[in-house]
Chains A and B, each alone.
Chain A
């Protein structure tokens, strides 16, 4: 019989202990590294090459504070460690990652895991910060007290991974371990556990709780008034920068697209293929691509805030406001993720243990302004909002963008409050979270994240958006206008017919038939509406207008109330088929995507109607 060896190792640790960074350092894989708790909500597996030539499978498990499994992601960690998860073998050994800067919290989990009797190594991560803060940990003594090897690591610098691999290679497989006997610790056992942690800390560690600088910064950053003012100022500055800094790069992309269109026009004879390339592909995809600089600037700031440790403080500040709206504190990370895209945000709600709390968070996640709305907002703002300053260097365009984001957040809070007050009446549960130390963001990590964001955006432009633009061009071009027809040929096309059919429903909110047509492909991906408008106007414009870019064309074709009405529509509109599909999967019922679609559609129509009619009175 073959000798039993360690082939399956699980990586366990509290949220935000640097577990994911250590996983990357050990396996060479790349994954998002952030400072807020709960970023790892999925299982991830890699191959670990041990120094003796053997290889083992390394599983990165969701962060957890204990094995009790209070939320769905914590339950996954518990079930994998105990070998209870179907299709998942129990681990032969465990690497318990302990945040050295928060050792009290980490040791509770270490002791809980140690009780299982599996071979184990403790990775004492972020040791550099402990030393920088004048703390001291006697690693040898700690190892003696715990009875397992303890290896100091600095995962983000890949320091300590060699020693960790050596320690893992020297582990002997356990015999006679029966994980099925595991039972949740009783209250008395938990008290004993805390007492043991205190005893171990007393003999092996001297920890400065936080650096003096962190405490000084937090006095301002976490202050109810100054901290909130700082958060609002930061957000305001970011939206100003999105408009102020992106201009030259956007102009460059626009010019490149115009040159490409001119080249294709000159190189090809007139015909359907030339029209498809110029009016469909270049006008459609190009009008979306032009927003890449703005999206990258927005994400640059979000990544900086995450990596510096500020985002966790923002969660802390927002908790009171969120609790007032009946939201669980754990909803902050899913809702924050929804600013990039509602889909990972909805999936991240698995960290919320109560079903009703989770459903509320799912229902409001699409109200957070996702990055796909950005091209629509910037197109309309650029066309209709004058590039003026309100004084003190505050740009009007950036201010309007800030208001749109704020409208999304406030409406999400309102919907949550409404549900929790009138439908699911339940008191909000307390929320505990750790605040990480401030860190200097790694330029490499920021760059890597920006490259990933650019690749996602360009990937969408080159696949979904390109394919839909081709279909839009087809629908806008065929059937051709009959002999002797007057007016642009697009009026006789399938798209023209659909637009005219939908127009009576949308006229009360100020939408014309072109907008009606653009809203349909916008169901697949919101930003497609921009490309669709570009193609529709390129095909319906006369020869002089066709030379113009989309923004001046819209400015001359729409009224200001129509533009504002469309902005209001996009704050609420349930226009994303993928989001609805994910809601169905996550809730395992058709009821919730139907409810979401219906309530958001009603909100969108009502908001557009109000905006249009008020704007008509104010700007006649």
Chain B
């Protein structure tokens, strides 16, 4: 029973994080684009043009 509850929490948390990362983050200006590497982050955060 405990294993089931913890598993559900982990799966829901992972799903929520992925939805945030790929579908919502950009809408809130947090940036979902890029592969997560330093070069992408820099280019995204400093893009002015």
- Which residue on chain B has the smallest CB distance to residue A269? B3
Most buried by A among B33, B35, B38, B49: B35
**Pick from A72, A344, A464: contact of B43, CB under 8 Å:** A344
Interface of A toward B, CB cutoff 8 Å: 32, 41-44, 72, 76, 85, 87-88, 268-269, 271-274, 276, 337, 340-341, 343-344, 347, 350, 372, 452, 456, 459-460, 463-464, 466-468, 470-471, 474, 524-525, 576-578, 581-582, 585
**Pick from A43, A271, A467: contact of B48, CB under 8 Å:** A43
| Interchain CB contact under 8 A, A471 and B38 | no
Contacts of A85 in B (CB 8 A): 48
| Interchain CB contact under 8 A, B3 and A474 | no
Contact status of A525 and B48, CB under 8 A, knowing A271-B3, A344-B40: no
| Interchain CB contact under 8 A, A582 and B33 | yes
| Interchain CB contact under 8 A, A581 and B32 | yes
**Pick from B15, B32, B43: contact of A347, CB under 8 Å:** B43
Contact status of A456 and B38, CB under 8 A, knowing A76-B48, A470-B11: yes
| Interchain CB contact under 8 A, A341 and B39 | yes
- Which residue on chain B has the smallest CB distance to residue A456? B37
CA distance A347 to B14 in the complex (A): 29
Contacts of A347 in B (CB 8 A): 40, 43, 47
**Pick from A72, A271, A452, A464: contact of B36, CB under 8 Å:** A464
| Interchain CB contact under 8 A, B18 and A471 | yes
What are 10 A-B contacts defined by CB distance under 8 Å?
A: A43-B46, A44-B46, A269-B3, A272-B3, A276-B10, A337-B39, A341-B37, A343-B34, A347-B47, A524-B18
Given contacts A344-B43, A452-B38, 14 further A-B contacts (CB under 8 A): A32-B39, A42-B47, A268-B3, A273-B10, A459-B36, A460-B35, A464-B18, A464-B36, A466-B14, A467-B18, A471-B14, A524-B22, A576-B35, A582-B33
- Report how many residues on chain B are interfacial, defined by Cβ distance under 8 Å: 28
Secondary structure dominating the interface of A: helix
- Which residue on chain A has the smallest CB distance to residue B1? A271
Contacts of A88 in B (CB 8 A): 48
Contacts of B22 in A (CB 8 A): 524, 577
CA distance A578 to B43 in the complex (A): 14
Contacts of A44 in B (CB 8 A): 42, 46
Contacts of A524 in B (CB 8 A): 18, 22
| Interchain CB contact under 8 A, B49 and A76 | yes
CA distance A87 to B3 in the complex (A): 53
Contact status of A463 and B6, CB under 8 A, knowing A42-B42, A43-B48, A468-B18: no
- Which residue on chain A has the smallest CB distance to residue B11? A474
**Pick from B14, B36, B40, B48: contact of A470, CB under 8 Å:** B14
Contact status of A581 and B33, CB under 8 A, knowing A269-B3, A344-B39: yes
CB A365 to nearest CB in B, in angstroms, measures: 13
| Interchain CB contact under 8 A, B14 and A467 | yes
| Interchain CB contact under 8 A, B11 and A273 | no
Contact status of A525 and B3, CB under 8 A, knowing A341-B40, A344-B43: no
The answer to whether the Cβ of B30 comes within 8 Å of any Cβ in the partner chain is no
Nearest 8 Cβ contacts at the A-B interface: A271-B3, A273-B3, A344-B39, A470-B14, A42-B46, A467-B14, A272-B7, A347-B43
- Which residue on chain B has the smallest CB distance to residue A272? B7
CA distance A269 to B47 in the complex (A): 51
| Interchain CB contact under 8 A, A460 and B36 | yes
Contacts of A468 in B (CB 8 A): 14, 18
CB B10 to nearest CB in A, in angstroms, measures: 6
CA distance A474 to B22 in the complex (A): 19
CA distance A76 to B43 in the complex (A): 14
CB A406 to nearest CB in B, in angstroms, measures: 24
| Interchain CB contact under 8 A, A578 and B3 | no
**Pick from B10, B15, B38, B48: contact of A87, CB under 8 Å:** B48
CB A222 to nearest CB in B, in angstroms, measures: 29
Most buried by B among A274, A456, A468: A456
CB B6 to nearest CB in A, in angstroms, measures: 5
CA distance A42 to B37 in the complex (A): 15
CA distance A372 to B37 in the complex (A): 12
CB A390 to nearest CB in B, in angstroms, measures: 35
CB A226 to nearest CB in B, in angstroms, measures: 33
- Which residue on chain B has the smallest CB distance to residue A348? B43
CA distance A343 to B47 in the complex (A): 14
Most buried by A among B6, B17, B34, B37: B37
CA distance A464 to B6 in the complex (A): 20
**Pick from B18, B40, B43: contact of A41, CB under 8 Å:** B43
CA distance A273 to B1 in the complex (A): 10
**Pick from A42, A341, A467: contact of B35, CB under 8 Å:** A341
Contacts of B46 in A (CB 8 A): 42-44
Contacts of A272 in B (CB 8 A): 3-4, 7
Contacts of A525 in B (CB 8 A): 35
CB B5 to nearest CB in A, in angstroms, measures: 9
CB B9 to nearest CB in A, in angstroms, measures: 10
- Which residue on chain A has the smallest CB distance to residue B46? A42
CA distance A582 to B44 in the complex (A): 10
- Which residue on chain B has the smallest CB distance to residue A337? B39
Contacts of B15 in A (CB 8 A): 471
| Interchain CB contact under 8 A, A273 and B7 | yes
CA distance A576 to B34 in the complex (A): 10
| Interchain CB contact under 8 A, B39 and A585 | no
| Interchain CB contact under 8 A, B10 and A271 | no
CB B36 to nearest CB in A, in angstroms, measures: 6
CB B49 to nearest CB in A, in angstroms, measures: 6
| Interchain CB contact under 8 A, B4 and A271 | yes
Contacts of B35 in A (CB 8 A): 341, 343, 372, 460, 525, 576, 578
